[in-house]
Amino acid sequence: QKEVEQDPGPLSVPEGAIVSLNCTYSNSAFQYFMWYRQYSRKGPELLMYTYSSGNKEDGRFTAQVDKSSKYISLFIRDSQPSDSATYLCAMRNISNFGNEKLTFGTGTRLTIIP
């Protein structure tokens, strides 16, 4: 079983819809949770970063963490064609000083249909 599971999609939704992207994880030592957006043939871009259970909002994006269920989500409101990309979740723990490895999900490919 992978430490981080993410549905690879592809996911297609009409413009203006609310998008929900999800990851589950098995390692309870994960303390920090990230969402990245990656356009085709580009490096990932950090969108959201959270370290506690609950919601964090940034513009049209909301990151949600439920540590008790080991489940994280990214919501995109009023989705735009420019949101079409692959979205990756990532997690990290600090098991000892300086050890800050990230574990990534496989990514979900999202297409927003105009």
Partner 1 sequence: DGGITQSPKYLFRKEGQNVTLSCEQNLNHDAMYWYRQDPGQGLRLIYYSQIVNDFQKGDIAEGYSVSREKKESFPLTVTSAQKNPTAFYLCASMGWRGGTYEQYFGPGTRLTVT
Report the distance separating Cα 15 and Cα 112, nearest Å.
6
Of the candidates 18, 90, 88, the residue with the CA atom closest to the CA atom of residue 60 = 18
**From the CB of 12, what's the least distance to partner 1, in Å?**
18
Report the distance separating Cα 33 and Cα 20, nearest Å.
16
* Among residues 43, 59, 68, 114, the one that binds partner 1 under rule CB under 8 A: 43
Q: Is 49 in the site for partner 1 (CB under 8 A)?
A: yes
**In the complex with partner 1, which residue's Cβ is closer, 29 or 46?**
46
* Among residues 19, 25, 83, 107, the one that binds partner 1 under rule CB under 8 A: 107
**In the complex with partner 1, which residue's Cβ is closer, 1 or 68?**
1
Q: Is 59 in the site for partner 1 (CB under 8 A)?
A: no
| Maximum alpha-carbon separation in the chain | 47
* Among residues 88, 91, 110, 112, the one that binds partner 1 under rule CB under 8 A: 88
Is 91 within 8 Å of 4 (Cβ atoms)?
A: yes
On the CB side of 26, CA atoms within 13 Å amount to 6
**What residues make contact with partner 1 under the rule CB under 8 A?**
6, 8, 34, 36, 41-46, 49, 88, 90, 98-102, 104-107
